[in-house]
Amino acid sequence: MQKNVQTRSSFPWTGSHSLEGLQSLFQGASSTPERLVRPDSFDERGRWHRLVEIDGTQVAFQLDPSGIFCWGSQERMEQRQIQRALDHLFLPLPFPKKAGAHLPEALATRFLRHSPLVHLASASLGEALIKAILRQVISAPQAKKLLHRFIVE
Amino acid sequence: MDYDGITSYGFPSLETIAQLSQESLVACGFGYKARMLPRIAKEIIEMRLEERIQGMPVEMAVELLQHLKGVGRWTARVAMCDLTGEWAIYPFEDLAVRTWASRLWPEYAWPREEGAFLQTWQDINGPSTGIVTCYLLAQATLTSQERLREQPILHSLFE
Span A55-106, pLDDT tens digits? 989 999 999 888 899 999 999 999 999 999 999 999 999 999 999 999 999 9
* Contact at CB, B139 and A114, closer than 8 angstroms: yes
Measured between CB atoms, does A98 come within 8 Å of chain B? yes
Determine contact, residues B12/B24, Cβ cutoff 8 Å.
no
Dist CA B86 CA B77 (whole Å) = 10
With an 8 Å Cβ cutoff, are A102 and B124 in contact? yes
| Cβ–Cβ below 8 Å for A6 and B125 | no
Give the sign of the dihedral formed by CA B74, CA B79, CA B82, CA B88.
negative
For B137, the closest chain A residue by CA position comes to A111
Cα distances from A68 to residues A50, A111, A116, in angstroms, run: 14, 26, 18
Q: What is the pLDDT of residue A36?
A: 66
Position B153 scores a pLDDT of 39
- Give the distance from residue B60's alpha carbon to the nearest chain A alpha carbon, in angstroms: 14
State yes or no: pLDDT of A54 exceeds 90. Answer: yes
Distance CA A15, CA A68 (A): 11
* CA-based nearest residue to B80, from B101, B99, B63, B97: B63
pTM over 0.80: yes
Determine the angle formed by the axes of helices B95-104 and B114-125, rounding to 10 degrees.
60
Q: Do B107 and A6 touch (CB under 8 A)?
A: no
Q: Where are the beta strands (DSSP E) in B36-84?
A: none
Q: Residue A37 — very low, low, confident or very high, per pLDDT cuts 50/70/90?
A: low
As annotated, the residues of chain B forming the CATH 1.10.340.30 domain(s) are 2-86
- Could you tell me what percent of chain A has a pLDDT over 90? 39
- H-only helix segments in A9-95: 79-89
Question: Is residue A108 within 8 angstroms of chain B, CB to CB?
Answer: no
Which residue type is seen at A48?
Answer: W
Q: What whole-number distance in Å separates Cα of residue B127 and Cα of residue A29?
A: 30
More confident residue, B20 or A108: A108
- Asked if B134's CB is within 8 angstroms of A62's CB, the reply is no
At B115 the pLDDT is 96
Alpha-carbon gap: A113 to the closest alpha carbon of chain B (Å):
11
Residues of B with Cβ-Cβ distance to A122 under 8 angstroms: 11, 79, 82-83
Question: Distance (Å, rounded) from C-alpha B24 to C-alpha B150?
Answer: 38
Q: Which residue of B has its CA nearest to A10?
A: B3
Predicted confidence at residue B77, as pLDDT, reads 96
In CATH terms, B2-86 corresponds, of 3.20.20.140, 3.30.70.3340, 1.10.340.30, 1.10.20.10, to 1.10.340.30
Round to whole Å and give the CA distance between B136 and B147.
16
What's the whole-number mean pLDDT along residues A100-116? 94
Whether B134 and A60 lie within 8 Å, measured CB to CB: no
Closest CA to A1 of B63, B9, B60, B61: B9
Provide the residue-wise pLDDT of chain B in tens; the chain has 159 residues: 777 777 778 888 899 899 988 888 888 888 888 888 999 999 999 999 999 999 899 999 999 999 999 899 999 999 999 999 999 999 999 999 999 999 999 999 999 999 999 999 999 999 999 999 999 999 988 887 765 554 443 333 332
**Length of chain A counted residue by residue:** 153
Half-sphere exposure of B158 (CA within 13 A, CB side): 20
Q: Which residues pair with A68 in a beta bridge?
A: A18
Q: How many helices (H) and strands (E) does chain A have?
A: 4, 7
Could you tell me if A73 and A13 are in contact, meaning their C-beta atoms sit under 8 angstroms apart? yes
Please confirm whether the linkage preceding A39 is cis (ω < 30° from 0). yes
pLDDT band of residue A3 (cuts 50, 70, 90) is: very low
Given this model, what pLDDT does residue A71 score? 93
ipTM: 0.86
Please tell me the distance from the alpha carbon of residue B117 to that of residue A15, in angstroms, as a whole number.
Answer: 48
- The per-residue pLDDT for B67 is 94
B58 near B89, Cβ under 8 Å?
Answer: yes
A118 touches chain B (CB under 8 A): no
* CB interface of B with A, residues 1-60, below 8 Å: 1-14, 16-17, 28-30, 33, 36-37, 40-41, 44, 49-50, 53
